[in-house]
Amino acid sequence: MRSRWAKLLVAWPLLVMAASFAYSQNAYRDAHNGVSLSLPLGWTWTDPQPSSEQKSIVVFREARTRLEAKLYVQVLQPPEQITPAEKMNRRLLKQARSKVEQRIREGFQDYRLREESCELKVINGRSALSWVSEYTASGQSMAEYLTRVRSESTSALFYVKLPAEHLDDFKRRLDPIIETLQIR
């Protein structure tokens, strides 16, 4: 009997490690900005690159396709007052239009919001908006997929630019990651 328990004690950690490898996700945590999310196996990330005291950008890369999604985080100082969801949703829609204007100023050719692509949602209790914009780069039809998640103290924006024909496939793999995003 003692030998069976000894074998079980030796085998148990190996079984736990194998199961955790098979089913685990990489957890990304940025304690400084109060942001976290889960990534499936095969995804990596860079350290946050601060663009100022309260702003940073993290790049998430899918190893298999080498496609990248970026997460821009801005900590709002001072935090805003608690905002009702419908007012936050109007703010999100206005920010989507502002992003289109920004990209046009940056020189994106034919940059426009895809009709009927705006989707209001809730991600981990926070108001969020996803949308698709289209543009042309070097004669190729391109798409930018964006999801902004807001709280009174944080604005987080996921965005990816890729050839339009790859959008739907990549979006199916990216959306489950975005759904795990937690912000302060």
51-72 pLDDT tens trace: 877 899 999 999 999 999 999 9
pLDDT tens, position by position, 94-103 = 999 999 999 9
Asked if the model's pLDDT at residue 32 lies above 70, the reply is: yes
CA 112 to chain centre: 21
Task: Report domain extents, the chain.
Answer: 24-183
Kindly write down the DSSP assignment for every residue of 62-116, as one continuous string: ETTT--EEEEEEEE-SSPPPP--HHHHHHHHHHHHHHHHHHHHHTT-EEEEEPTT
Q: What is the pLDDT of residue 19?
A: 39
Show the tokens assigned to 181.
Answer: 């995003």
Q: What is the pLDDT of residue 2?
A: 54
Topology classification of domain 24-183: Protein Transport Mog1p; Chain A (3.40.1000)
Task: Say if residues 87 and 152 touch (Cβ distance below 8 Å).
Answer: no
pTM for this one?
Answer: 0.84
Nearest CA among 69, 71, 43, 26 for reference residue 170 = 69
Show the tokens assigned to 55.
Answer: 């702003």
Nearest CA among 13, 39, 14 for reference residue 26 = 39
pLDDT tens, position by position, 107-137 = 998 999 998 999 999 999 999 999 999 999 9
pLDDT tens, position by position, 135-173 = 999 999 999 999 999 999 999 999 999 999 999 999 999
Q: What is the pLDDT of residue 50?
A: 86
Distance CA 122, CA 129 (A): 8
Q: Which of 122 and 8 is assigned the larger pLDDT?
A: 122
